[in-house]
């Protein structure tokens, strides 16, 4: 009975994993969860602030520069990056239409070390890809786009999440890329709207990505049940 209810619920919330439908779905959820997501974005902004020390350290002389660089890197890797995965999970809950609470952005700590390892691996793999003529970096970024959701939502180990994301994006990597491509004019429009418009623009883009993962997950579950 529970399985039947799950299938029925999936059929009610399913939509095609296409760029337009993902942005449309994200737009609907943006206004339903606007306050919660806005507060999550603001909280994450202040959490990530210490990471900016790395960028301003060039203006400071002496041994302080080294300390700031070390602190900034450690803070970013051990706190800011993992919590960003938690923020992605919050967007996923909104895309699913589930109850969303600010504390959900900290659910990443239930699988913390795998989140840290995954963040590092993604940065290294994509970084290496960018070095090799940029295009491989874009491909790697698209293929690994689902890693944050798998780490927090499914509580997978880092390597397992890498493999699963790679498999899940088969046939959908182009959709990941196109969502990012469409995000450019949306972000520009957000900046034009008195700059503060970039916040809802960024929220909408993040919801589109979460909607794509949600749609692909439902499609694969439906295929498995057939």
In a domain, 54, yes or no: yes
In a domain, 60, yes or no: yes
Would you say residue 225 lies in a domain? no
| Structural domain includes residue 3 | no
Token pair 């940029």 is at which residue? 134
With respect to residue 8, please indicate whether it lies within any of the assigned structural domains: no
Which pair of structure tokens corresponds to residue 100? 């969303």
> Nearest CA to 176 among 15, 27, 19?
19
Angle between helices 112-131 and 158-168 (to 10 degrees): 60
Please give the mean pLDDT across all residues of the chain.
86
Cβ-Cβ contacts under 8 Å for 159 (sequence gap 6 or more): none
Is the pLDDT at 34 greater than 80? The verdict is yes
Domain that holds residue 151: 20-220
Q: What pLDDT score does 136 carry?
A: 85
CA distance 154 to 75: 25
Domain membership flag for residue 7: no
Which one has a higher pLDDT value, 70 or 35?
35
Instruction: Confirm whether 176 is domain-assigned.
Output: yes
How many domains does the chain contain in total? 1
Coil vs helix vs strand at 18: coil
- The model carries a pTM of 0.86
For residue 32 the two structure tokens come to 């339903």
Residue 151 in any domain: the answer is yes
| Residue 225 CB neighbour total at 10 angstroms | 10
- Residue 65 — very low, low, confident or very high, per pLDDT cuts 50/70/90? low
Structure confidence by residue, pLDDT tens digits, 125-177: 999 988 877 788 899 999 999 999 999 999 999 999 999 999 999 999 999 99
pLDDT tens by residue, 87-112: 999 999 999 999 999 999 999 999 99
More confident residue, 84 or 73: 84
pLDDT, tens digit, 9 for 90 and up, residues 188-218: 998 888 777 899 999 999 999 999 999 999 8
Backbone phi, then psi, for 144, in 5-degree steps?
-105, 15
**Residues with Cβ within 8 Å of residue 63, at least 6 apart in sequence:** none
């Amino acid at each position: 009975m529970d399985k039947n209810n799950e299938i029925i619920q999936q059929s009610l919330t399913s939509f095609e994993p296409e760029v337009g439908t993902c942005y449309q779905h994200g737009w609907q959820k943006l206004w339903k969860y606007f306050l919660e997501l806005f507060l999550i974005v603001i909280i994450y902004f202040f959490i990530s602030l210490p990471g900016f020390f790395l960028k301003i350290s060039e203006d400071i002389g002496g041994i302080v520069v080294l300390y700031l660089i070390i602190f900034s890197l450690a803070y970013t890797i051990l706190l800011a990056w993992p919590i960003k995965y938690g923020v992605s999970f919050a967007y996923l809950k909104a895309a699913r239409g589930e109850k969303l609470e600010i504390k959900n952005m900290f659910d990443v700590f239930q699988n913390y070390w795998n989140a840290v390892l995954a963040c590092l691996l993604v940065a290294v793999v994509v970084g290496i890809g960018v070095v090799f003529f940029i295009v491989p970096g874009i491909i790697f970024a698209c293929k690994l786009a689902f890693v944050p959701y798998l780490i927090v939502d499914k509580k997978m180990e880092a390597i397992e999440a890498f493999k699963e994301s790679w498999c899940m994006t088969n046939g959908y990597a182009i959709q990941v890329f196109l969502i990012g491509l469409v995000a450019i004019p949306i972000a520009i429009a957000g900046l034009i709207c008195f700059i503060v418009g970039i916040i809802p623009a960024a929220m909408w883009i993040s919801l589109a990505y979460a909607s794509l993962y949600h749609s692909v997950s439902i499609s694969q579950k439906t295929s498995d049940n057939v």
